[in-house]
Structure 1
């Protein structure tokens, strides 16, 4: 192969990476906007939002959900390009359950055992299982459209990670409305709600991301 041909191939590959990076960034922005618009149009923040900002338990909900969104989005973008290493990004995703486990242990130590079940069940379980998947629809669609411009080696897993990212941003918005701040509630119901979105992403990925 001639040198000028090699340079041309490398430049074309760089253009593809740049275009896909732009597409993925656009999808991330669209995901935030779509979830945010639906959130403010349909529910909005809880009445005591500003007072709740003084609570560590309330703020932690945003730490855990946004950490999930960012870690899953990073992994999703890398999975869309065959041959790109994903080991470090997968490890980054493990930070989320570790943070949640630490918060649960801290809650168990701070709260009387008699209140553990009450805090875990909470008052908004149905809303959590309903509203997080609802807020995830737009972000998941945006991510799947972006992934179709790539070439994920495992469409199902890529779709599932897209579901994790969509569930993370949806849960972050929902957290501003939810009045259950206990990490025990978050560990149970937020996890189940995001799991629903992840499963939907897996099925959608297998159907629409195969190549």
Structure 2
């Protein structure tokens, strides 16, 4: 068979991909693996006992506003990377917005706090374990995204893995907030972000191996 005939035969057998298939599959993967992570938070760490009261306070929504914003931007970028013709992670520059807003809040808190108490704002009560827990909780979500991407055709495998890890880390940090009692913007900016970046590093490491097609 000539090459032209083979290409024509393969093209004749192809089916059109339903509109919105990529975001739906990614959303399903995040929902399913996120439920597993939520169960892990509840069983391993436990939900904070004052959660009903905390939901009515600014620190809780400061954390969720930060992590949900990061997650939304990363999910949009990773959905873009699912297509084979894509060569860049469009939209990641918007990550500077939630990071910048939280940095401003951290500076405002520092200026309103005596210098002797700045270490408490930075370290809180859980700085030794926060980043590790966020990164660990991200693994089920990262695994779900990697499985979802087996049906796609990304070409920038390491970049796609890194952005998938970023999305997984942000989602995990959001769910970790149901346990974490920390209230400092500086704490969230440093330790939550480190956990999310660790998840992105894991994604970049395993992406070329698991996303190859």
State the shift of 1:155 in Å.
Answer: 0.6
Deviation at 1:82, TM superposition (A): 2.6
What SS class does the counterpart of residue 94 from structure 1 fall into? Answer: helix
**Residues 78, 85 of structure 1: 8 Å contact kept:** no
Cα distance in 1 for partners of 2:116, 2:158 equals 42
The Cα shift of 1:203 comes to: 0.4
Contact 2:80–2:90 (8 Å) recurs in 1: no
Where does structure 1 lack aligned partners over 5 or more consecutive residues? none
C-alpha distance in 2, partners of 1:87/1:134? 24
Once residues 204 and 52 of structure 2 are traced to their aligned partners in structure 1, the CA distance between those partners, rounded to angstroms, is: 37
Is structure 2 residue 135 aligned with structure 1 residue 133? yes
1:126 is displaced (CA, Å) by: 2.5
Counterparts in 2 of 1:87 and 1:152: CA distance versus 1, 3 Å: closer
Task: Decide which of 58, 74, 77 is 2:76's aligned counterpart.
Answer: 74
1:119 aligned onto 2:105: no
Partner residue in 1 for 2:181: 179
Pair 1:12–1:92, CA change in 2 (3 A): farther
Post-superposition Cα deviations, 1:100-153, rounded to whole Å, max 9, x if no partner, equal 222222222222222112210111112312321221111000011112221222
Distance 2:201 2:176 in 1: 19
CA contact (8 A) 2:86 2:155 kept: no
Moved more, 81-90 or 32-41: 81-90
For structure 2, the residue ranges without an aligned partner over 5 or more in a row are: 1-7
Cα contact 2:131–2:192 (8 A) shared by 1: yes
Distance change (3 Å), C-alpha of 1:118 and 1:202: same
CA distance in 1, matches of 2:101, 2:33: 24
Q: Which residue of 2 aligns with 1:44?
A: 46
Q: Deviations over 1:5-52 (max 9, x none)?
A: 9xx98x93443x544343222112113212111112222221222222
Q: Given the superposition, is the C-alpha separation of residues 154 and 86 from structure 1 closer, same or farther in structure 2, using an over 3 Å criterion? A: closer
Is the Cα contact below 8 Å between 1:35 and 1:169 reproduced in 2? no
Distance change in 2, residues 1:177/1:71 (3 Å): same
Distance 1:133 1:88 in 2: 24
- Greater shift after overlay, 64-73 or 87-96? 87-96
State the TM-score, normalizing by the size of structure 2: 0.85
SS of the counterpart of 1:206?
helix
Measured in 2, the distance between the counterparts of 1:98 and 1:122 equals 21
Alpha carbon RMSD of aligned pairs, Å? 2.3
